[in-house]
Structure 1
């Protein structure tokens, strides 16, 4: 079974890593850490690809210099305060991405070579204000499997509903380069079969809508849910491996902060 379902939630979870407040769960040295468990349900766009439901452990740690959550690591760089309510933040990012498949994952993939996930690294920048948060992130496949690149833009805003509930809707766009699309959605000459024509992937842009909710029982215990729907770009939809124009994901988790 593909491990994509386990790690596709890394982007939403990295936003949760900052936590519900500046002091919650932090010790005297300004660090915080926690443990949790999540369940993710994902529907990929590959033809006849069964919905994946997986449980995964979560580890969270943050201090002045680094942030760790799930499969992702952020090294914080100096930011710029633009005013009382505006700030620019910068960082270096690295994460494991389990995108990919094995030939046994769906009938359309029979006879296809395995497509592997890998480690991605790059940089991020974020403009944060009382109005909204705007983030940009560029990463490249440092494992060398796809040799691809990705660029994402995300706009989100968090509303606090009472003292215990946070609600964060978001909209985003993700650019995937030709190498990425060709590796995960292309069909090589040696893989051509009846109902599966040769396909050379091309760069594309996916759009995403999502919402994240968090309920804080107290300073230690919290639960959250993240729901996202991705509209696939033509570079992916045109692939003979794909029979859907969208993908969706639901993630439910619990976190204990020490």
Structure 2
């Protein structure tokens, strides 16, 4: 069994999907977009479910991993908890009847990293740890799509890195029960982040594994989430995602793939 660290690509995006399901669920139920329970803005809402996730990471010697995950979420007017993170909702800026900008303070556990025992190719590498990241997020909501920008930094000081994410998502409602949400995104990582997780120190050099210093780069992601409402409380969902890695990551001697991919499917009950 691999360590929890190398499951980061599986765990973090998969569990984050719990929180992202809040707005589509509320919209599908006819309620406000992500502001509370079914039909009433500000009402607290709980979600509980289970999911299966299968993903392929880019590190050498790491095979595709599939596992089952519990899913838990909570949301009220000022707070959202889902997966590995939480958000504090700040006052919303209303632009018009159809446009607004939401501001959030965010905190999340980043499960990136590995141990030498996770792969024979990683033998002799020092452990790379995850940590707690914090920052801020803004989302422009309008009739066309939702555009989000998020900046976070490693406050646990393992990598001392920073990340900036941009994502664009559109919800298409196909009848009263089915919703499709395609998305596209880009994630910038500074050189400290890339060097910590994909660099090779001089004392870690071995035959076939040269020294490497990471530089900043941008990952690109495409994804599609489908949500089917069985009734106002029961839902099943499928989330597909593929990430094209930055050149600075693909060039790392620790990496053997240019992309990572993930399939997530599950069931969620919203109280």
Q: Scaled by the length of structure 2, what TM-score is found?
A: 0.91
Match of 2:153, SS state, is strand
Distance in 1, matches of 2:221 and 2:15, equals: 15
**Distance (Å, rounded) in 1 between the aligned partners of 2:100 and 2:194:** 34
2:188 and 2:41 map into 1 onto residues whose CA distance is 41
Pairs within 5 Å for 1:148-187: 148-187=161-200
2:46 pairs with one of 24, 29, 33: 33
Q: Cα distance 1:69–1:32, how it changes in 2: closer, same or farther (>3 A)?
A: same
Match for residue 195 of structure 1? 208
Q: CA deviation at 1:13?
A: 3.5
* Kept in 2: contact 1:26–1:32 (CA 8 A): no
Matched, 1:6 2:19: no
CA–CA distance in structure 2, aligned partners of residues 6 and 242 of structure 1: 20
Please state how far the C-alpha of 1:9 moved relative to its aligned partner. Answer: 2.5
Q: Is the 8 A contact 2:18 2:71 kept in 1?
A: no
Match of 2:255 in 1: 242
Distance in 2, Cα, partners of 1:28 & 1:175: 34
Q: 1:144 aligns with which of 134, 138, 157?
A: 157
Q: Which runs of 5+ in 2 are unaligned?
A: none
Equivalent pair of 2:160/2:193 in contact (CA under 8 Å): yes
- Separation of aligned partners in 1, 2:182 and 2:149: 17
**Correspondent of 1:72 among 74, 85, 97:** 85
Q: Alignment length, in residue pairs?
A: 258
Match of residue 59, structure 1, among 72, 78, 81 = 72
| 3-state SS in 2 of match to 1:53 | strand
